[in-house]
Amino acid sequence: MKLYNVAILGATGAVGQTMLKVLEERNFPIGKLKLLASKQSAGKEINFKGDTYTVEPVSSESFEGIDIALFSAGSTRSKTWAPIAVEKGAVVIDNSSAFRMEPQVPLVVPEVNPEDVKNHQGIIANPNCSTIQMVVALYPIHRKKTIKRVIVSTYQAVSGAGAKAIEDLQKEVKARFEGEHYTPQALPASIAFNVIPRIDIFLENDYTKEEMKMLNETRKIMHAPDIKVSATCVRVPVFIGHSESVTIETQEPITPQEAKQILSSAPGIIMEDDPKNNVYPMPIDVEGKDDVFVGRIRKDLAFDNGLSMWVVADNLRKGAATNAVQIAQLLVDYGLV
């Protein structure tokens, strides 16, 4: 079996650590493994498949002889290091928003547009976590009934904002119970017993950048340049698992029964939809799972041809690490590395 030399930039982070778990679980054919981060983490030891690896500070030499470089260290680092890694011969799978909308960079969700990886010129972008789980649920319906518009509100876990935001929720909840004050370091407002209707920065049109990612990335991944998406992205005091309330309007009529049938046989989806028995997906139940969970499918009462649903996934897995490792697997399967 051919083995591939793999580097992970951001190996100490919330996404990087999950990438290591997923690579190990899937027995990805790794030859040499390089764990890269900032100078602060240099020398830290990380276990992978029973062996100890030492974290190295990223440098241009880091990518020498690397076949696949998985990046999850933020968009600034991606912009600096991706061109260097590509020049050294690696294919970069980038988790940040740095290159997602560049026309020559494929933006891939393997359940939706796997073939797009074939057009890569060195960099393949992994979409935003909230976009990934939404398009997995929308695409099978779009193929049959053409989705015209989407209205989505998200309920996003703190882990989507990194290891420091996880710490913020832990520390602020503890401080509240102890009658003390704690100011979150990685989140823009109080997160304990609160919800924050702002993820990423505000833009000129008063949507946030996260909300505009959901519009622009959905169009690119689904090859649906005319689809309309209005998103409201909200941070909630949940550690892992993004939830989404999604309402769609389709060109052709669709019944909830048809939608359930379509989604039951679609890749990467688990239906949990039995209101009579109180069955619906919740973030607490999806942690550690790689699928997208869909429930609460019903006829939407505000639109003709309308349908509403509830979509939940582990943001660190399908929303980031799992999707990136699936892309790496596509490269192997298509013989592109």
Residues that bind ligand NAP (CB under 6 A): 10-16, 37-38, 40-41, 58, 72-75, 77, 95-96, 126, 128-129, 160, 162-164, 319-320
Number of residues in contact with ligand 3JM under rule CB under 6 A:
9
Q: Which stretch binds ligand 3JM (CB under 6 A): 69-77, 83-91, 179-187, 245-253?
A: 69-77
Per-residue contact string for residues 196-225; x = within reach of ligand 3JM by CB under 6 A: -----------------x------------
Interface mask (CB under 6 A) for ligand 3JM, residues 145-184, using x and -?
---------------x------------------------
Residues in 127-146 that interact with ligand 3JM by CB under 6 A: 128-129
Amino acid 153 reads S
- Neighbouring CB atoms inside 10 A of 313's CB total 34
Q: Are the CB atoms for 127 and 218 separated by under 8 Å?
A: no
Strand partners, 52: 47
Write the DSSP symbol of residue 337.
-
Q: Write down the least CB distance from residue 199 to ligand NAP, Å.
A: 11
In 3D space, the residue among 111, 168, 160, 94 whose CA is nearest the CA of residue 317 turns out to be 160
Q: Of 147, 154, 102, which Cα lies nearest the Cα of 123?
A: 102
Rounded CA separation 270/286 (Å): 11
Strands 91-94, 123-125: pairing is parallel
Q: Which is nearer to ligand 3JM, 247 or 315 (CB)?
A: 315
Distance of closest approach, residue 171 Cβ to ligand NAP, in angstroms? 15
| Residue from 75, 113, 230, 245 binding ligand 3JM (CB under 6 A) | 75
CA 303 to the chain's CA centroid: 29
What letter does residue 320 receive in the DSSP assignment? I
129 is catalytic: yes
Cα 124 from Cα 333, distance rounded (Å): 15
**Residue (of 97, 83, 94, 81) closest to 16 by Cα position:** 94
* Beta carbon of residue 325, minimum distance to ligand NAP (angstroms, whole number): 12
Stretch that binds ligand 3JM, among 73-81, 113-121, 172-180, 284-292 (CB under 6 A): 73-81
Active-site entry in 120, 142, 233, 242: 242
Q: Which is nearer to ligand NAP, 74 or 122 (CB)?
A: 74
Candidate residues 59, 76, 183, 194; the one interacting with ligand 3JM per rule CB under 6 A: 76
313: Cβ–Cβ under 8 A, 6 or more apart, which residues?
A: 129, 132, 133, 136, 241, 242, 286, 289, 291, 292, 293, 319
**Closest chain position to ligand 3JM (CB):** 74
Answer yes or no: are the C-beta atoms of 98 and 79 closer than 8 Å: yes
* 307, 250 contact by CB (below 8 A): yes
Distance (Å, rounded) from C-alpha 45 to C-alpha 325? Answer: 22
Token pair listed for 218: 């959905």
Beta strand extents in 157-241 (DSSP E only): 228-235
Chain residues 256-315 in contact with ligand 3JM, contact rule CB under 6 A: none
- Quote the least distance from Cβ 276 to ligand 3JM, whole Å: 37
Query: Residues 79 to 108: which contact ligand 3JM by CB under 6 A?
Result: 96-97
Q: Residue 41: which of ligand NAP, ligand 3JM, none does it interact with, CB under 5 to 8 A by kind?
A: ligand NAP
> Taking a C-beta distance cutoff of 8 angstroms, is the pair 297, 248 a contact?
no
Whole-number minimum distance, CB 260 to ligand 3JM, in Å? 30
Interface pick for ligand 3JM out of 17, 29, 64, 74 (rule CB under 6 A)? 74
CB of residue 36 vs ligand 3JM: minimum separation in angstroms?
Answer: 16
Read off φ and ψ for residue 218, nearest 5 degrees. Answer: -60, -45
**Residue ranges binding ligand 3JM (CB under 6 A):** 74-76, 96-97, 128-129, 160, 213
Active site residues: 129, 242
